[in-house]
Homo-oligomer: A and B are copies of this chain.
Amino acid sequence: MLENLFASRVKPDEKSRLVGLFPETHYLDNISFGGGAPEEKLFPVEELKEAYQVAVKRQGAHAFQYHDIRGPEYLRQFLVERAKTLVGIPEVTDDEIMLTAGGQQGIELVAKLLLNKGDAMAVEAPTYVGALAAFDTFEPTYFNVSMEDDGADLTQFELLLKAHPEIKLFYTVPDFHNPTGITMSVAKRKRLVELANKYDFIILEDTPYRDLRYVGKSLPSVKSFDTEGRVIFLSSFSKILTPAFRLGWLVADPVVVQALTKLKLTEDLEVPYLPSATIEYYLQNNDLDEHIQSLRALYQTKMEAMMAAIDRYLPGIKVSHPEGGFFLWLELDQGIDTTKLLWENAVPEQHLVYVPSESFYAHRDRKNGMRINFTGPTYEQIDDGVKRLSKMLVENSRQKEIFVKAI
């Protein structure tokens, strides 16, 4: 039994939180509300093709060589400037910037940096499934912080911190929270940093959707209130440009950046030059914010289309009303197990994929919700997919009814 040699972090019998996020149903009429896929039609294909060609031309054969883990210079400068405007920190220096293999590697590296087995960390409940999957591998002791309409319940969190001063990391998605869509209020952002200073922990602020706001005005980042270098601000090009180049970036205290860089070296040696230089050249010759504007416009109408489909096929169902991001969050009746339904009905019968709520909870203990993505599918798929969802829920009730009658 090879499994006997596996480390305790590996649980061969446990379904990965991430398997099922991108499942292939192998049906032609498959509709995926699963992963956070951007709309393909808006990828600036021609611009990216050209940018790649220039990236190769600039360095010739050297473009295919190993490169410095720091990544290309102009790209780093661009991120320093963007951190000042987007993140709103008046002073950002080059040694506070780091490139990662997508936002996902940023999360995994922070977990690796901070977590010994059994170390205490707090997460929003629910929270991003990919982050939990990364944290899981370092076997932390999880503490849950409930979500309120204006973000994590910090009163509850402070009680938790008093009882467990050993908590060393808090992971949060303050803008269009994944999966609930909730945005954290400015007051709470400030308060969160105060708590971190008082109770000595680090905040990982994950912001892949921050630029994709469809309603209202952008709020200052948690990082912008940071006074002691305790906030790691994590962003990515995956949702606003393309996920194909796996390029994420973070802003953190130089001590943190240095330690994370040493850890990254052990995982993949470098930030690959060609993808990062392609994005560099794209940024030098195109207006990213203009591109983001076109994404916003499309995604807003897609979100509205999904809302309309829900009104049509699932009237009265409890659904989130986010101001941005990629997802809606449905809370269903207590007895409904969305994991079971996914594998027994949605995938095999309806050829429909969503992410069941269980995956978003550290202890996998809430089964009556689901996250559905509206950016990847077409308008037709949005309408058809919600219709299939409704059908699935009707069939599920009928089964229950039959069961009740049989008793």
A residues contacting B by CB (< 8 A) are: 2-10, 12, 16, 18-19, 22, 24, 35, 37-38, 40-41, 43, 45, 48-49, 52-53, 56, 60-69, 101-102, 104-105, 108, 112-117, 119, 130, 133-134, 136-138, 168-169, 200-202, 229-230, 242-246, 253, 255-256, 258-259, 262-263, 265-270, 272-275
Pair B18/A265 contact, Cβ less than 8 Å: yes
Neighbouring B residues of A68 by C-beta, 8 Å: 22, 24
> What is the CA–CA distance of A157 and B199 in the complex, to the nearest angstrom?
49
Say yes or no: A137-B116 contact (C-beta < 8 A), given A64-B244, A244-B274, A269-B104. Answer: no
Instruction: Give A260 Cβ to nearest chain B Cβ, in Å.
Output: 9
- Closest B residue, CB atoms, query A244: B64
* Residue from the set A246, A253, A267 with the largest chain B CB neighbour count within 10 Å: A267
Neighbouring B residues of A256 by C-beta, 8 Å: 2
Instruction: Give A245 Cβ to nearest chain B Cβ, in Å.
Output: 7
Pair B38/A49 contact, Cβ less than 8 Å: no
Say yes or no: A35-B66 contact (C-beta < 8 A), given A49-B56, A104-B268. Answer: yes
Instruction: Give A229 Cβ to nearest chain B Cβ, in Å.
Output: 6
Pair B63/A53 contact, Cβ less than 8 Å: no
Pair A255/B12 contact, Cβ less than 8 Å: yes
Neighbouring B residues of A230 by C-beta, 8 Å: 2
Pair B244/A63 contact, Cβ less than 8 Å: yes
> What is the CA–CA distance of A112 and B112 in the complex, to the nearest angstrom?
11
Pair A202/B255 contact, Cβ less than 8 Å: no
Pair B266/A130 contact, Cβ less than 8 Å: yes
Partner of A12, one of B48, B66, B258: B258
- Closest B residue, CB atoms, query A108: B267
Pair B112/A265 contact, Cβ less than 8 Å: no
- Closest B residue, CB atoms, query A242: B64
Partner of A5, one of B19, B114, B245, B258: B114
- Closest B residue, CB atoms, query A3: B255
Neighbouring B residues of A201 by C-beta, 8 Å: 5
Partner of A22, one of B66, B136, B168, B262: B66
Partner of A168, one of B5, B8, B41: B5
Neighbouring B residues of A246 by C-beta, 8 Å: 268-270, 272
| Known A4-B200, A12-B259, A104-B269; 11 more pairs at CB < 8 Å | A5-B201, A5-B202, A6-B113, A22-B66, A35-B66, A40-B64, A45-B60, A48-B64, A67-B244, A105-B268, A272-B275
* Residue from the set A53, A114, A229, A268 with the largest chain B CB neighbour count within 10 Å: A268
